[in-house]
Amino acid sequence: MVTGPKRLIGLAFVAVLVFWAAPPATTQQRPAAAQRIVSLVPALTEMLFAIGAGPQVVAVSSYDEFPPEVKSLPKVGALLDPDMERILALRPDLVVSYGSQTDMQAQLARAKIRVFSYRHAGLNGVFATLKDLGDAVGRTTDSERLSREIRSGLDAIQARVRGRPKPRTLLVFERDPESLRGVYVSGGVGFLHDMLGIAGGVNVFADVARESVQPSVETMLARAPEFILEVRATGLLAGADVTQAKRVWGVLASVPAVQQGHIQILTGDHLVVPGPRLVQGTEAFARALHPDAFK
Amino acid sequence: MSRLRASRFGGQETLDSVAGAKTRARDTRAHVVPTPIRTRLLKTVAGFGVLLIVTCVIAPLVGSSPISLARVFDRSIPFSENVDAQIFFVARMPRVVAGVIVGAALATAGVVFQALLRNALATPFTLGVSAGASLGAMLAIVLGATISAGPLSAVPLACLAGAAIAAAIVYRLATMQDRAMSTTVLLLAGVTLNSFFSALIMFVQYIADFSQVYRAARWIMGDLDVGSFEPIMAALPMLAIAFAMFAWLPSSLNLLSVGADAASARGVDVGRTQRLAFVSASLATAAAVSLAGPIGFIGIVVPHLVRLIIGVDHRLVLPASALFGAAFLVVCDLAARTLLAPLEIPVGVITALLGGPFFLWLLVRKG
């Protein structure tokens, strides 16, 4: 029932729903570089591998799928069900955890194990996290290099779409199959909103200072988006295709995106994990919104 | 009026005050000539009916975005270009209609369950019907089911199946020992089944992933934003049957709420009435929950509010609860979609937040 890719959607949701915009990640006093790391946050696992700290990672969360190396590592639970015994048995010197896992963090503190506490917070939060994480694992130069790469990747995308009209976009990341109920879209904070901005789109819910908004049919009609972009970590909508989506959205006949057929579904966990692959995700947004810019 | 202020449940006084016309004619203790039931029914229905009509006229005019009525009904603009008309007919009207039928169904089901179980605390969700429905919905969400039947999509379909299974189990248990239903067994079986299904729901949620858990949790808070008339049309036949069955019930319920023995002594076919009450109220609950999720509080607050206003005669309470429940839910949904616009407050939160204090105020004032 709980298949691998589905867990990634879960992660996406953690990213988008569970947490509010929060101050950037912080480390608690930090001596030597960590050598045995347990990472319970998939986005940060990706960062660790991308800055060359992969060999230091001894266990990951049950949601981790990327990079492929994590598949052979022990899985020690996740946000709600960290397996404390196994974590302690692995004798880590750094545990990367969510900011909300306060009980576990207190337990780790009693065991004198260092904790890297993380909360999702927009694109700038990604860079701040990368820096802190690099420092914590003794990979400062690598993390600076990765930050520069991500920045230049995003700059390149921004340059490509510059000067083009910016479609007012509804960025959907959840919807009941076959209907317009249970629709969740990106509000005006968070990395999805930031990615959309770089990809040359204007978020129709930019004024709502939340990561996720559940809009009513009325609000979606009133906001009249020119583009509807649905992102899915994986094929949650079984057999979902653009035709089906267009039929479902067809109810909102007065919405410009519906009239002009500007509805797209993008699939892949790189779209919803705020890690090193967010350049790919942003480019996917940009290609969907501005196909001409990539010809 | 002292006869109408009789204790709400049980007691000889209640029996005397609300038993059918035959009893009343023989009642030598009557000091006041009672207003004929037909007149009172007419007055009650007229009063609550006007309230519902006013609510239903105002509700579609108000929302998170201002619309112009002139534009809504302007035929010169094609419908697909007319945002105001789309908001009015696609977004608001289905919500109001869904609010009316769900509110009416839950309120009347509450009345019937309270009489059937002779328990003031009974709600449409007491007997496990909604827990069964919720488990069905949860499974449909977690398994990502895409089955559908006509206008019914996976979640409502699974919801109805879960409700039917729960109702069947409770019914079978309550009718096992003798021909009539045992109210005690019914209540205990229902409450136990509720806990059992809740445990299953927790288990399913635990093994599900975040997005599904979130959707499931949101579903439980109730939502009337149905987006079209299709889901309403799917729920309507079930509700029509349930309401037709309700029409047979009021006089028998008056006697039944006093006690099975007393009722049967006065010529009520107790077994038949109980079955009718259980099946109709379960059907109404299942239909309402499948359409809008288990919106709480209406099933308990509305019947009691109505009783505080018009007394305990089911011939008045049932229709009045249907009308008042409908108006109440439409108002709650109006609050849900406008208070924090463009954000929405789950309507189940509003029903409890509005209904609770209002009910307490009325309780204290009447007391």
Q: Write out pLDDT tens, residues B253-264.
A: 888 888 888 888
pLDDT tens track for B26-50: 444 445 666 788 899 999 999 999 9
Higher pLDDT, B6 or B314: B314
Closest in B80, B91, B146 to A178, CB measured: B146
Interchain proximity A181–B226, CB inside 8 Å: yes
Question: Looking at chain B, which residue has its C-alpha nearest residue A177?
Answer: B146
* Residue B79 contacts A where some CB pair is shorter than 8 Å: yes
Number of structural domains chain B divides into:
1
Instruction: Please check whether residue B239 is in contact with residue B280, taking contact to mean a CB–CB distance below 8 angstroms.
Output: no
Which phi and psi angles does A145 have, rounded to 5°?
Answer: -60, -45
Q: What pLDDT was estimated at residue B212?
A: 78
**Is the CB of A224 inside 8 Å of chain B's CB atoms?**
yes
pLDDT for A177: 76
Which residue of B67, B207, B209 to mutate against A (max A Cβ within 10 Å)?
A: B209
Cβ-based neighbour number of residue B71 at 10 Å = 14
Instruction: Please indicate, yes or no, if residue B21 is contained in any of the structural domains.
Output: no
Residues 6 or more apart in contact with residue B348 via CB below 8 angstroms: B220, B221, B222, B293, B294, B295, B296, B297
Which range among A145-159, A224-238, A242-256, B305-319 shows the weakest confidence by mean pLDDT? Answer: A224-238
Residue B43 resides in a domain: no
Cβ–Cβ contact B155 with A under 8 A: yes
CATH of the domain at B212: 1.10.3470.10
* Under 8 Å between Cβ of B218 and B346: yes
Q: Is A1–B342 a contact, with Cβ atoms under 8 angstroms apart?
A: no
CB distance A116 to A59 below 8 Å:
no
Q: What is the mean pLDDT of residues A197-207?
A: 96
Cβ pair A46, A67 in contact under 8 A:
yes
In a domain, B29, yes or no: no
Q: What is the mean pLDDT of chain A?
A: 86
Confidence of residue B19 (pLDDT cuts 50, 70, 90): very low
- Residue B36 is assigned to a structural domain of this protein: no
Instruction: Tell whether B113 is covered by a domain.
Output: yes
SS3 letters across chain A:
CCCHHHHHHHHHHHHHHHCCCCCCCEECCCCCCCCCEEECCHHHHHHHHHCCCHHHEEEECCCCCCCHHHHHCCECCCCCCCCHHHHHHCCCCEEEEECCCHHHHHHHHHCCCEEEEECCCHHHHHHHHHHHHHHHCCCHHHHHHHHHHHHHHHHHHHHHHCCCCCCEEEEEEECCCCCCCCCEEECCCCHHHHHHHHCCCEECCCCCCCCEECCCHHHHHHHCCCEEEEEECCCCCCCCCHHHHHHHHCCCCCCHHHHCCCEEEEECHHHCCCCCCHHHHHHHHHHHHCHHHHC
How confident is the model at residue B352, as a pLDDT?
A: 87
| Mean pLDDT taken over chain B | 84
Please check whether residue B42 lies inside any domain of the structure.
no
Predicted confidence (pLDDT) at residue B227 exceeds the cutoff of 90 = no
User: Is A219 in contact with B342 (Cβ distance < 8 A)?
Assistant: yes
Helix (H) or strand (E) holding B305: helix B298-310
Which tops the pLDDT comparison, A233 or A71?
A71
Confidence of residue A209 (pLDDT cuts 50, 70, 90): very high
Report CA torsion sign: B220, B150, A222, B65: negative
Mean pLDDT of A129-145: 93
Instruction: Indicate if the pLDDT at residue A28 is higher than 60.
Output: no
The answer to the question of residue B19 being in a domain is no
A139-149 confidence digits (pLDDT tens): 999 999 999 99
**B309: in domain:** yes
pLDDT band at A240 (very low <50, low <70, confident <90, very high): low
User: Which residues form the domain of B115?
Assistant: 58-366
Asked if A131 contacts A31 with a C-beta cutoff of 8 angstroms, the reply is: no
Please, are residues B217 and B206 in contact by the beta-carbon 8 Å criterion? no
Q: How far is CA B363 from the centre of its chain?
A: 21
Using DSSP bridges, classify how beta strands A57-60 and A26-27 pair: parallel, antiparallel or unpaired.
unpaired
Q: Which range, of A23-37, A95-109, A240-254, B150-164, averages the lowest pLDDT?
A: A23-37
Chain A residue numbers touching B214 (CB-CB < 8 A): 13, 17-18
* CA proximity to B227, closest of B63, B58, B87, B66: B87
- Of residues B364 and A151, more confidence is placed in A151
Closest Cβ–Cβ partner in A177, A208, A219 for B146 = A177
CA dihedral (A107, A110, A114, A118) positive or negative: positive
* pLDDT, tens digit, 9 for 90 and up, residues B48-66: 999 999 999 999 999 988 8
Residue the block writes with tokens 């959205």:
A249
> Is A86 an interface residue toward B (CB < 8 Å)?
no
Dist. CA A139–CA A48, nearest whole Å: 9
Average pLDDT, stretch A187-193? 94
Q: What percent of chain B has pLDDT over 90?
A: 44
